[in-house]
A and B are shown apart, each in its own frame.
Chain A
Amino acid sequence: MQTGRAASIRADDLDFRVEAKALLERVRLHADQGQLVGLIGPNGAGKSTLLRAIAGVLQPQEGAVWLEGEELESIPARDVAARMALVPQIAPYTHGFTARELVLMGRYPHLGRFEIEGAADEAIAREAMELTETEEFAERTLDTLSGGERQRVFVSRALAQQPRVLLLDEPTANLDVLHKLRVLDLVRRLVDEGLTAVAAIHDLGMAARYCDRLVLLSGGRVLAEGAPEDVLVPDIIESAFGVRSAVYRDPATGSLAISLIEPADNGRAHAPSASVNGRHGHGAERHAPGGPVEARRRNG
């Protein structure tokens, strides 16, 4: 057991199976206060599943999640929501709610059963929308917003929850380059001020640049974990993603950059989980770097 300061969020040996298929196998992860931990890995590696397990949305068959030293299962759902927020991968449509109403829902866990959000909650929501530059469409209904705009509104909602732990599932997937940087800058700044965050991030370069530590998932297992320099090495990238790469310091940003060169040849392709994935590597999956379309086979 860890002595001294308990991790803000910690997952111990999570096993999650759907029928015979293992989506998570003995997965461990921890994030200390003031850390941004990046979850990387190919499609179907279990990133979303892990985040949902940490959020308490799904119950793993084995293992436990600890929130600030307390076992998650023992904390009432509303108290969890007052301490930990989840930004979903797909920002859902919500029949007629405005962006402002959605952000205000982030205040629900902090309100009594019959309490209606007051001026203080309105102010918190407004501030959260200013941070993601969404206040201009506060009064528009969500179905009139673009995917990227909606995603930023959902980030605002998570911020309005005033969580101490923030979980983000591909928070930048639908964003243009400017807002991608803005949202990650924002998360980084909040983390530097004491927030703890775990984010699934597709773009390896972005993950390397913003995260303190990376956890690389492949086939439901942790393949590598540690500082970005230790995880993002060509051998590991190839064994997880089946892609040959070059890793170097980007002279413009000073952080790691990854050039994805080509799919490793088919005969040697390391299927992320050989037991379940026999179709991997027929060579036709050349994606633009950093932007493969999430197939959502498992979690959709």
Chain B
Amino acid sequence: MREAAGPVSVRSLRRAGVSARLAVGGVALGGLVVLASLVSLSLGPVEIPVGQVAAIVLSFVGLDVAEVGRTEQLVIEQIRLPRILVGAFVGMALAVAGATMQGLFRNPMADPGIIGVSAGGALGAVIAIATGLTGLFFLALPSFAFVGAVGATFLVYGIAAAGGHFSMATLLLAGVAVNAFLGAVISAIVILLPDNEALREILFWLAGGLDSRAWEHVQISAPLIVGATVVILLRARDLNLLMLGDDEAQALGVRVGVTRVVLLAAAALATGAAVAVSGTIAFVGLVTPHILRLVLGPDHRVLIPLSAIAGAVFVVVADTFARTIIQPAEFRVGVLTAFVGAPFFVLLLIRNKRQAHAL
């Protein structure tokens, strides 16, 4: 390898081959996600030492390495582990969808919510809460949010494809319009709502949170998120070519129309599934791929898989802070991601002004 010797500086990593960048990034971020999860599992009202946590996690897969306490085991199995898994899958979905949208729109400022998916999910959730359906059955909120998210995406896509001629510029503008409209509908519902309890529930949901997430939430979101991520991974190379423009991509063998629809649909499904179980968690989809791109370059074969892991790290860490900093109360993870993510992002932009400009 060209850069085998010497310290792995950021620059030499950027210049390394696709497999080398994947390996280094995968090991580093993979280690981080394991570490963050272990620490997160140990923290909370019941403190569990990390060694105990590891023993308990190993006992789930049939490896009994040490005596584990029954209470600790229950806390981890029933409360902390599902919550962390939901957080990890949500982070994965948002970061992968963000990277995909940024590639499709050839714009590093694109966000998974750009095609109305978050606003649609929010409206679905608000309707479920305002009508009191959430009290009737457990899956009312996530299913309404999911239907809203996917419905809004269809609407935005339908507008952009109207008249038989699809355009990404129209898609962007339609997304802005639909986002604004759905936002207004949500505001109207909130204003007209007589019930203060429901109002509080809505505000909580809109701020994005992972409180009392259970295994059911993992079961409904993980298959969609993993499936969509695999679909996007299969097209990561095509995404590189789409960044050059439609003609270029076509001339290099990409079936542009089909590929774009598949990528948009997969990103929307992943985001919809995430929004359904966590509300709107801000900034993960924008900032995660952005940071990775600064370090590892824009190649989506590197960016997509590593965004998946980095997004998981981001949300798990943020949620750990959210549920521990003001114990026994809880902060909202969606507030925290923006609270910490935005200044960090600005700092990064200033420090990397030249590189950021090159993006």
Contact call A81/B108, Cβ cutoff below 8 A: no
Task: Considering the complex, give the chain B residue whose CB is closest to the CB of A84.
Answer: B251
- With an 8 A cutoff between CB atoms, is A223 at the interface? no
C-alpha gap A172/B293 in the complex (Å):
32
Known A101-B297, A116-B18, A143-B358: A108·B241 in contact at CB below 8 Å: yes
Partner of A57, one of B17, B250, B299: B250
Contact-residue size bin, chain A (C-beta under 8 Å from the other chain): 35 or more
Contacts of B246 in A (CB 8 A): 57
Question: Which residues from 123 to 162 on chain A have a C-beta closer than 8 Å to any C-beta of chain B?
Answer: 139, 141, 143-144, 161
Contacts of B358 in A (CB 8 A): 96, 141, 143-144
Known A78-B253, A96-B293, A116-B19: A52·B247 in contact at CB below 8 Å: yes
Contacts of B18 in A (CB 8 A): 116-117
- With an 8 A cutoff between CB atoms, is A42 at the interface? no
Contacts of A80 in B (CB 8 A): 253
Contact call A95/B251, Cβ cutoff below 8 A: no
Contact call A77/B240, Cβ cutoff below 8 A: no
Contact call B253/A108, Cβ cutoff below 8 A: yes
Contact call A97/B297, Cβ cutoff below 8 A: yes
- With an 8 A cutoff between CB atoms, is B298 at the interface? yes
Could you give, for residues 56-67 of chain B, a 1 whenever the CB lies within 8 Å of some chain A CB and a 0 otherwise?
A: 000000000000
C-alpha gap A81/B256 in the complex (Å):
13
Contact call B253/A95, Cβ cutoff below 8 A: no
Q: Looking at A56, A79, A84, A108, which has the most chain B CB atoms within 10 Å of its CB?
A: A108
CB distance from B148 to the nearest CB of A (A): 32
C-alpha gap A113/B235 in the complex (Å):
9
Known A95-B359, A96-B359, A141-B358: A55·B243 in contact at CB below 8 Å: no
Contact call B237/A81, Cβ cutoff below 8 A: no
Contacts of B298 in A (CB 8 A): 94-97
Contact call A55/B251, Cβ cutoff below 8 A: yes
Interface residue ranges, A against B (CB under 8 Å)? 52, 55-57, 76-82, 84-86, 88, 92, 94-98, 101-102, 105-106, 108-109, 113, 116-117, 139, 141, 143-144, 161
* 15 sampled A-B residue pairs with Cβ under 8 A: A52-B247, A55-B250, A57-B250, A77-B250, A77-B255, A79-B253, A88-B251, A92-B245, A95-B106, A95-B243, A96-B298, A96-B359, A102-B244, A108-B237, A113-B234
